[in-house]
Amino acid sequence: MPFLNKLITYLFHYQKVALIVIPILSVSQAVNAQEIDILLKGGHLIDPKNNINAKMDIAILDGKIFRVAANIPESLAKKTINVSGLFVSPGIIDMHVHVFQGTDKYSTSVANSSRSQQADAFSFRSGVTTMVDAGTSGWRNFRTFKAQSIDKSQTRILAFLNVIGNGMIGRFEEQDVNDMNPEMNAYMIKKLFPEILVGIKSAHYWGEFTSVDKAIESGKLADVPIMVDFGEHVPTNSIESLFLKHFRPGDIFTHTYSEISAGRESIVDEKSRKLKPFILEAQKRGVIFDVGHGGGAFSWAQAIPAFKQGFLPDVISSDLHDQSMNAGMKDMTNVMSKFLALGMQLKDVIERSTWAPAKVIKRTDLGHLSVGAEADIAVFNLRDGKFGFTDVRKVSVEGSKKLEAELTLKAGIIMWDLNGISGQAWQD
C-alpha cells in the first residue's frame, strides 16, 4: 500500500491543484462530447465519387465534412437532424444557367437583363449549391456580372466566358467575329479570375464554325473546355463534323435533346427515330453531352428513343432563364425527375448532377462528400405517386417518382428547410 499512501498524501498537500485540474478536464471532456456542429442522421447517402450508395450518417464541423460513417453517436453532436427515409447527396451542380441579372436597356438577350434570374431564388430550394453561368457574359462585361450577381449571391456561381466580348447582349452582336478575342478570353480566365471562370461558351452563331473554332482556340490557351449551343445556321451545320473534327475530348455539347429547329441538327433522326450512329462514337471519344433543358431544348421525341437505344447524357442541367423557369423545365429537381421517368437509376441521376459536372469543369473540390470537403449537401424526398412531366412542346410523360428538396446546406449552413426538419419542435 505504499504507493496508495503516497498518492493520498500528494492529493492532500496539493488539493488546490487537484481542484483546478479536475474542472479543466471536465470542460475538455464536454468539448469532446460535442465535437460535431451538425449530424445528419439516418439518411441514405449517394456519393458517386466515393462509391457510396447506402445508409450513412454525415458529421459536419466548421463548414466541412468531418466524418461519414454508419451510426455516428448523437451524443457527439451539438445538433442532430433526423433524415431517416430521405436521400442525401452532395450539393447539386447546375452546369447551365443564366444568372447575370441587370437592367441594361440595350440588352435584348440574357446578359445584364431581367431575362437572367437571381441564383438564390432557384438554387437552394432545388438542392443546388453551385450554379455555372453558361456564357451570359464575355470578357468586356464579366466584371459587371461579378459585381452585380456573383459577389452578392449566397449560391456559388462559376461561369463559362462567352467567346464574344460582350456576351449575350443580342443575337446580332453575337455574330461579331471581330469581338471574338481568344487572347483576352484566356487572360481573363488564367490570370484574373481562375477561381470563377471554368470554360468558354459559343452560342447562337449564324455562320459555320468560326465561333466554335475561336472558342476552341480560347480553350486551348486557357486550358479549359468549351460549351457549344450549336445551330441557327441554314442549312444546318453538321454535328458529326462538330463532334469528330472540331471538338476536343472534354468539350461540351449542350441542348442534347433539342429537336431540329432554326438550323439545329438533332441527335435522333426525326423520321426513323434512330440515334445517329456517330453519337455514341462521339461520346466514347470524350464529347460531353449536357442536357441544358431550357425553354426550347428538351423534347421527349428525342430523349425517349435515345434512351431506348442506350444513349444517356453525361450531365443534367436546367438552362435556367425567364422562358424556362415556369415552363417545362421549372427547376433542377423537376429536370432530374424526368430522367427517373425515363428509367435512369437515382444514383446515376445524382452522379450526372454532382460529380460528373465537377469533373467536366475541372472543379473536383466540389460534387462529393469526402472528409475535408466543403459541406455542400442536398437532402431529397423521393416521392411516390402519379406525376406528369412536360417537354418544351407541351408533350407530357407520366412518372411514378419525383424528387423534392427537403434540406440544403451550403458550407455547413442550412439554406433551405422545406418542412422544418432542422427546427426545434414547438412546445406549448
Q: How far is CA 351 from the centre of its chain?
A: 10
- Domains belonging to the chain, first-starting first, are 89-406 (3.20.20.140)
Alpha-carbon gap, residue 300 to 311, rounded angstroms: 14
343 phi, psi to nearest 5 deg: 110, 5
Question: pLDDT tens for residues 19-36?
Answer: 333 343 333 343 355 689
220 C-beta neighbours (distance < 10 Å), count: 14
Question: pLDDT tens for residues 276-296?
Answer: 999 999 999 999 999 999 999
pLDDT for 428 equals 86
Identity (one letter) of the amino acid at 231?
Answer: G
pLDDT at 17 over 60: no
Provide the pLDDT confidence category of residue 13 given band limits of 50, 70 and 90: very low
Question: pLDDT tens for residues 335-352?
Answer: 999 999 999 999 999 999
Provide the pLDDT confidence category of residue 264 given band limits of 50, 70 and 90: confident
N-terminal to C-terminal alpha carbon distance within the chain: 59
Mean pLDDT for all residues in the chain: 92
Task: Say what the pTM is.
Answer: 0.91
SS3 18: helix
The secondary element (H helix, E strand) that includes residue 217 is: helix 210-222
Out of 29-33, 280-284, 316-320, 327-331, which region has the weakest mean confidence (pLDDT)? Answer: 29-33
Peptide bond into 235 cis (omega under 30): yes
Report the relative pairing of strands 44-47 and 52-55 from DSSP bridges: antiparallel
Alpha-carbon gap, residue 146 to 156, rounded angstroms: 12
Residue in 230, 280, 234 with CA at minimum distance from that of residue 255:
230
pLDDT for 334 equals 98
